[in-house]
Structure 1
Amino acid sequence: MRLVQLTVPTGKRETILEILDERKIDYVVTDEISSREYTAVVYFPLPDAAVEPVLDEIQNAGIEEDAYTVVVDAETVVSRRFQALRDEYEDGDVGSDRISRQELQAEADDLTPSFPVYVVMTVISAVVATAGLLLDSPAVVVGSMVIAPLIGPALGASVGTVIDDEELFVESVTYQIVGVVVAIAAAAIFAVLVRSLNIVPPDLVLSSVGEISERLAPDLLSLAIALGAGVAGVVSIATGTSVALVGVMIAAALIPPAGVAGITLAWGQPTAAIGATVLVLVNLLSVNLAGLLTLWYAGYRPENLFDLGETEQRLRQRIVGLVVIVLIFAVFLGGITYASYESGNFEQDAREEVETVLSQDRYENYQLLEFQVVMDDNYPFRNAERVIVTIGGPPDQSAPELADTFHERINGHADQPINVEVRYVGVLERGNQ
C-alpha cells in the first residue's frame, strides 16, 4: 500500500478531485498557503498496482512533471472503498505486485551511490575478497559480497532501458565497467603486495586453494547463477521488497571471480586469468539480460506512450546484443564444462583399469591404496598430465611389470600421452596370536 501526497497546481484542483472521485479513491484535501503556484495538497491511499495508472492519468490531465508528488509506504488502510480499489487492481499476476514506474526509477537511483563512494566500496570489497580467496576462507569471501555496491548499477541499466531513461542507462553501464576494472586492478595490486611481503607462502600453488581453483575453470552452472541473480534482483526491486540479500547474490557472481583474476595476474599467470575474467563478464552481462527481460515481462513501459515504439526497438537491439555475447561466452564455458567432463571420464576409466589389473589372481597380494590424476596448469582447459598409482603389497615383493601394464591400459583412454607413476608401499599384516 502507498500513500500519495500530491500538491495541486493553481487551477487544477477540480480536475484532480474529479479523477479521484471517478475512481472512487478516498482522499483528504488541505489548503496550501506557502506558495501561489499550489493551492492545496491531496492525500490519498492506493494499492501498489494502482499508483502508476492513477499518477499517469493525473499527469495526462495537465499536471506538470514538476508538481510536487511524494509516494510513501502505508502500513494499514481501513476503508471499504480501498478494499474495492484493491480488488480492482490486484488480480494476482506479476504486474499487480510490482511498484510503480516512478518508484522503480527512484529506487534504481537510490541503489547507486555517488561515484567516489562506489569506487571506494568496490576497492574495499575486492581487497577483502582477495584476502578471503588467498586464505581459502568462504566466510571472508561472503563478507566481501555484503559490502560490494554492485546491485544498483547492475539493475539500473535495465531500468533505464525499459522506462526510456537514457541518462540512468549510461550512468549504470559506466559504473559497471568502472566497477569491474577497479575490482580486478585492486585485487591485483593487493595480491602483489601480499606476495612481495611474503604474507603467503612464496611457492603457493593457486590451483591448490579451493576458493581459487573453482573459479579458474568455471562451467555452465555459473551462467545459471548469474541469470538467477539478475531475475531475483529485478523481482526484489520491482516488488519493493528488501534487496540486501539479492545484492549479495549479484556480488557473489562478480566480486570473487574479479578477485581471482587479479590474483592470477599478480602471480604472473595471465592465461589462468582468462577463465575468471570470462566468468566476471558473462555474469555481468547475464544479470543485465535477465533484468531487461524480467522488467519488460512485469509490464514496465516508458512514461510517454509515443516513445513506446522507439523504446521497444532499443530494447530488442540490446537484448539481441546481450544474447549473442552471452551465447559466445556460454560456448566458451561449455568447452570448459566438456573438458571437465572428459577429465572425469578419464579418471574413472583409468581407475577401473587399475582395479581390473589388480583383481587378477597373480596380484592378489596387492591392493590399491591411492589413485590420483594430476592435471596440468593450462587453464581454463585443463588436461590430465600424470597419473599416480599407490599400491600396497608385501615388503619383500614387487611387480615391476605393473608400471608397463598400467601405462599401456591408462593411455588407451587418453587423447595424449600420460605419464604413469607407480608407488609401492610395504604392508605388514599381523594376525592374532
Structure 2
Amino acid sequence: MLHLRLIVPSDRTDEVVRLIESTVGAVHLVVLPGAARDPAGDVVMCDVAREAGDGLLSRLQDLGIDRTGSIAADNVDLSLSTRADRAEEEAPGEAADAVLWQHLVEETHEESTLSVTYVAFLAIATMIAACGVVLDNAVLIVGAMAVGPEFGPLAGISTALVRGKPRLAARSLIALVVGFAVAMALTVGFSVLMDLLGQFSKDQLDGSRPNTGFVYAPDAFSFVVALLAGAAGTLSLTSAKSGALVGVAISVTTVPAAANAAVALAYGDTTQTVGSSEQLLLNLFGIVVAGVLTLLAQKAFWARKGRKSAQGTKGGKPETA
C-alpha cells in the first residue's frame, strides 16, 4: 500500500475527494479542512494499493494539485485493515509488478546527479578494481562492482528515453561520462603511484590472468549478460527490491573494464586499453537497451491491465485481480 498526503486548495477538495472515492484500490480517506498553512488549504490523506497508485497520482497531477498544493507518497510497511486487504484484491494486477512512474523518474533523477559523493564512490570502486585486475583477484573485482554507483545514471537514461524526459537524459549522460572520465583519470594516477611503490608492475598486467582476463576481451556473452542485468536492475527499481540491484551490480563488467583500461593506459598498453574500453561501452549500451525494453514492456502490460480494469468496472463491479 501507498499512503498519500495531499495539500489541496479548499475550492478543489470536493473534486479530489470524488476522484479518490472513485479510484479502485483507494481506502482510508481522511479530510482535514483548513489544516494546511503553507501552502494554505485542506489536508487530504488516503491509502491506495500500489498497483492503483500510478493512475491516481497521474490524475491528481492532471488536476494540478502538484502545482497548487502538494502530493507526497510513502510506502506503508504494515497495514492491518480488512478494508485495505479488500482494496488490494480489487485493484488490478499485483503490487510487486506495479510501476510508479513519478517515483521512478524522481529516484533516477536523484541517483543520476553528478555529485562529489557519486564521483568519489565511482573512483574508489575503479581503484579497487584496478587492484583486482593487477592481482588477478576475483574477490576485489566483485567488491568493486558492488561499490560502483553507475547503474543510477544508466537507469536514468532508460527512464528518460521511455518517458520523454530530455533533461533527465542529459543529466544522466553527463553523470555517466564525467563520472567515468574522472574515475579513470584518478585511477591512472593511482596506478602510477602504486608502480612507484612497487605494488603494481606491467608484468602483472601482461601475465596470465585467468580470473580477470575477461575484462578486456568483449564477446557476445558480455552483451547477453549486460542485457540480462539491465532487465533485472530495472525490475528491481520499479518493484523497489533493492536486494536484486546488488546482484545486478556484481554481474556486469563496467567498473572492472574501466579500471583495466586505466591501468593499461598508465603502462601504455593500447591493446588492453582499447579492449577494456570496448567492454565498458558494450556493457553500458546493453544495460540501457535492456532497461528501455523492460520499461516499454511494463508500460504495455499496465496499459493492458488498465483497459481490462476499465471494462471490469462497467456496471459498478470492479474486476478482482
**Equivalent residue, structure 2, for 1:254:** 254
Q: CA RMSD in A?
A: 2.4
Deviation at 1:36, TM superposition (A): 7.3
Measure how far apart 1:170 and its partner are.
0.5
Residue matched to 2:163: 163
What's the CA shift for 1:28? 1.2
For residues 98 and 205 of structure 1, what CA distance do their matches in structure 2 show? 46
Q: Which of these residues, 56, 59, 70, is aligned with residue 58 of structure 2?
A: 56
2:221 aligned residue: 221
- Which residue of structure 1 lines up, in the alignment, with residue 120 of structure 2? 120
**CA distance 1:66–1:239, shift in 2 (3 Å):** farther
Q: Is the CA contact 2:114–2:179 (under 8 Å) kept in the aligned structure 1?
A: no
Residues 302-358 of structure 1: CA deviation (Å, up to 9, x unaligned): xxxxxxxxxxxxxxxxxxxxxxxxxxxxxxxxxxxxxxxxxxxxxxxxxxxxxxxxx
Larger radius of gyration: 1
Shift of 1:128: 1.1
Is 1:29 the equivalent of 2:41? Answer: no
Contact 2:262/2:273, CA 8 A, preserved across alignment: yes
Residues 56 and 241 from structure 1, CA distance in 2 versus in 1: closer, same or farther, beyond 3 angstroms? same
Q: Classify 1:267/1:10 alpha carbon distance in 2 versus 1 (closer, same or farther; 3 Å).
A: same
Matched, 1:142 2:134: no
8 Å CA contact 1:206–1:213 kept in 2: the answer is no
Identity of aligned residues (%): 26
Correspondent of 1:43 among 36, 42, 45 = 45
Structure 2 SS opposite 1:259: helix
Between the aligned partners of 2:166 and 2:66, the Cα distance in structure 1 is: 21
CA contact (8 A) 1:261 1:273 kept: yes
Q: Provide closer, same or farther for how the CA distance between residues 214 and 28 of structure 1 changes in structure 2, counting only shifts above 3 A.
A: same
Any gaps of 5 or more consecutive residues in structure 2?
302-321
- Structure 2 CA distance for partners of 1:261 and 1:10, relative to 1, 3 Å: same
Distance in 1 separating the partners of 2:166 and 2:269? 39
Question: How far did 1:217 drift?
Answer: 2.1
1:96–1:258 CA distance, 2 compared to 1 (3 A): closer
TM-score, normalising length: structure 2? 0.84
Letter paired with 1:249: I
Q: Report if aligned partners of 1:127, 1:190 keep a CA contact under 8 Å in 2.
A: yes
State the partner residue of 1:67: 69
Distance in structure 2 (CA, Å) of the matches to 1:284 and 1:241: 22
> Which has the larger displacement, 15-24 or 259-268?
15-24
Q: Distance in 1 between matches of 2:189 and 2:211?
A: 19
Q: Give CA-to-partner distance per residue, 1:182-207, whole Å, 9 cap, x none.
A: 23323322222222332235643524
Q: 189-198 vs 49-58, which deviates more?
A: 189-198
Structure with more relative contact order (C-alpha pairs < 8 Å, separation 6 or more): 2
Contact 1:155–1:291, Cα closer than 8 Å, also in 2: yes
1:259-300 deviation line (CA, Å, top 9, x unaligned): 111122222211232211100001011111111111111118
Deviation per CA, 1:128-187, whole angstroms, max 9, x where unpaired?
110122122111121212221112111011112222222111100111112332233233
Q: For residue 7 of structure 1, what is the amino acid of its counterpart?
A: I
Distance (whole Å) between structure 2 residues aligned to residue 113 and residue 60 of structure 1:
27
Give the deviation of 1:104 after TM superposition: 1.0
Shift of 1:234: 0.5
Q: Which amino acid aligns with 2:105?
A: Q
Structure-1-length-normalised TM-score: 0.63
Q: Partner of 1:264 in structure 2? A: 264
Equivalent residue number for residue 245 of structure 1? 246
Using a 3 Å threshold, how does the CA distance of structure 1 residues 165 and 138 change in structure 2: closer, same or farther?
Answer: same
Tell me what 1:291 maps to.
291
With over 3 angstroms needed to count, the CA separation of the structure-2 counterparts of 1:140 and 1:13, relative to structure 1, is same
SS in 1 for 2:65: coil
Between structures 1 and 2, the one with greater helix share: 2
Q: Secondary structure at the match of 1:229?
A: helix
For 1:205 and 1:125, the matched residues in 2 are separated by 18
Q: Is the 8 A contact 1:216 1:272 kept in 2?
A: yes
CA distance in 2, matches of 1:36, 1:225: 50
One-letter code aligned to 1:82: A
Structure 1 runs not aligned, ≥5 long? 302-433
Once the two structures are superposed, the pairs formed by residues 227-376 of structure 1 within 5 Å of their partners are 227-242=227-242, 244-246=245-247, 248-249=249-250, 252-299=252-299
Residue type at the aligned position of 2:43: V
Indicate if the aligned counterparts of 1:101 and 1:300 stay in contact, CA closer than 8 A. Answer: no
Q: Is the 8 A contact 1:126 1:258 kept in 2?
A: yes
Give the aligned residue type for 2:5. Q
